[in-house]
Structure 1
Amino acid sequence: MPRALLRGAALAAALLCVSAASQAALFEDDEARRAILDLRQRVEAMRQQTDQRLTDENGQLRRSLLDLQNQIEQMRGDLARMTGQNEQLTRTLSEMQSRQTTIDDKLKQSEPSKVSVDGREFTADPKEKADFEAALGVFRSGQFAQAQTAFAEFVKRYPQSGYNASALFWLGNAQYATRNYNEAIANFRSMLSLAPDHAKAPEAVLSIANCQIELKDTRAARRTLEDLTKAYPQSEAAQAGRERLSRLR
């Protein structure tokens, strides 16, 4: 075969190889592009799915947070109401305790209590005690007419009072001070009849004698003074009675 023909044939074969290689390269580029596009699509789909999932999760999270905030606000409201109720209950309890204390104090003030007057112990109501002390205060202030009225009313108001012996004694003294000697003698004797062992019994006997002296009844006064020295010989009133008796003779 001629040499030129051989070169042409070789050239043609080379061109065919180049063309085939080019076609093969073009085919591979298309496949690569399709693969890249497919990958991009899958990535985009995954991104969209992820974005949707995140959007859904964020929405759910926001709803959950909103529900939680609503629950917190409701709990705050409940707590505020409970706090208000507790404060009201506390105030109510305090008021009830205060009223109970007031009632207890009033009951204590109205309950009888043990007192001691002129060496004698007995039970007396608060009002009874207050009335006696008020009458005695009037006497000690020198208002003898008013004291006479106060003690007379006391004896009538409290006929069974443990104060009565003392009240009769001071009533007699108030009457003596206002020159009501006969009434004074009667009340001193009532006092001695009620409580002959009273601490002021000797003074009551001496006061009877003084009233009798003021009434110019010397004989009766002498007998009274003699009875005084016999009945209460160790008393100060008996000593005074002896001196008074010596002057009467």
Structure 2
Amino acid sequence: MMKQALLTLRHTTLSQLVVAGLLASSAISAQAALFGDDEARRAIIELRQRADSLQQSQEQTRRSLLDLQSQIEALKADQAKLRGQNEQLIRDSSELQRGQKDLAKGFDERLRQFEPVSVNVDGMEFTADRSEKQDFDQALGLFRSGKFPEAAQAFAGILRQWPKSGYTPSVRFWLGNSQYATRDYKNAIANFRSVLTNAPMHMRAPEAALSIANCQVELKETKAARKTLEDLLQAYPNSEAAGIAKPKLATLK
């Protein structure tokens, strides 16, 4: 009986040990499973965090790219605006240069109107104002067209406006001829004498002396006319006027 009790006790103890072992094993498995779940959960959380961080980084990168694209578009717009402004400045500069050239050209043309010109009249070379030359040419044109009163006024106007002109001897000569043509003999003689007195070597001087004699003949001043012709032959013996004076002198008594 004692043996039977020992066997029963051993069996009971063994069973208890097996149960205890099973319980311990179950507890260990539960703990292992619990430990595995925690690791997996932490890994999932880390992956989610990484995914969120990556998504945030991608979103930030996308916003940065959008900002960069906006900046690029703004730069392109500014560049186009600057290009347009530069082209406008080039056009404005070209127009300004053309305007300056036109202005300079016009100024030069106006300036040339006041610049003296070199002229050669009746063998005399001198400089004169352009307007002075123009007035003389117009007055001479009036005389040659037979408008003697108008020519006389024009030549007299030149003497008043340019009293020291190089044209003066020629103006006096043609003024005297204009007056002779209008039978203003006394004033004609005064202008012809001015040529002889102030420009005795002038090309028109011999003709002026002959014209004085003609005026004196018209005034019935025969004696004075003879004296004038004699002086002409003495002062300008080889002139064309002297060739006319010789036969004329022979007719005066």
Query: Structure 2: where are the runs of 5+ without partners?
Result: 1-43
Q: What one-letter code is carried by the residue in structure 2 that aligns with 1:209?
A: A
Q: Deviations over 1:61-87 (max 9, x none)?
A: 454333222211110101111221232
Q: What one-letter code is carried by the residue in structure 2 that aligns with 1:105?
A: E
**Deviation for aligned residue 1:162:** 1.0
Q: Deviations over 1:20-73 (max 9, x none)?
A: xxxxxxxxxxxxxxxxxxxxx9xxx99999998777666644543332222111
Alignment of 1:130-169 (within 5 A): 130-169=134-173
More moved, 95-104 vs 162-171? 95-104
Aligned to 1:120: 124
Aligned to 2:114: 110
Aligned to 2:16: none
* Paired residues, number: 215
Paired residue secondary structure (1:109): helix
1:46, 1:156 → 2: CA distance? 110
Q: Deviations over 1:144-183 (max 9, x none)?
A: 0111111112212211111111100001000110011111
Q: Is 1:237 paired with 2:233?
A: no
More moved, 79-88 vs 93-102? 93-102
**Deviation for aligned residue 1:111:** 2.2
Match 1:97 to one of 101, 116, 133: 101
Q: Which runs of 4+ in 1 moved over 6 A?
A: 45-56
Q: Deviations over 1:172-207 (max 9, x none)?
A: 000110011111111100111111011111111111
Paired residue secondary structure (2:127): strand
Query: Structure 1: where are the runs of 5+ without partners?
Result: 1-40
Q: Deviations over 1:88-126 (max 9, x none)?
A: 232223223322322222122112232221111122122
Q: Is 1:204 paired with 2:208?
A: yes
2:157, 2:122 → 1: CA distance? 20
Alignment of 1:14-163 (within 5 A): 60-163=64-167
Paired residue secondary structure (2:200): coil
Match 1:179 to one of 179, 183, 187: 183
Paired residue secondary structure (1:216): coil
Q: What one-letter code is carried by the residue in structure 2 that aligns with 1:113?
A: V
**Deviation for aligned residue 1:247:** 2.8
Q: Deviations over 1:1-25 (max 9, x none)?
A: xxxxxxxxxxxxxxxxxxxxxxxxx
Aligned to 1:223: 227
1:200, 1:166 → 2: CA distance? 7
Paired residue secondary structure (1:197): coil
Paired residue secondary structure (2:245): helix
Aligned to 1:5: none
More moved, 73-82 vs 210-219? 210-219
Normalised to the residue count of structure 1, the TM-score between the two structures is 0.74
Aligned to 2:37: none
Aligned to 1:9: none
Q: What one-letter code is carried by the residue in structure 1 that aligns with 2:174?
A: W
Q: What one-letter code is carried by the residue in structure 2 that aligns with 1:145?
A: P
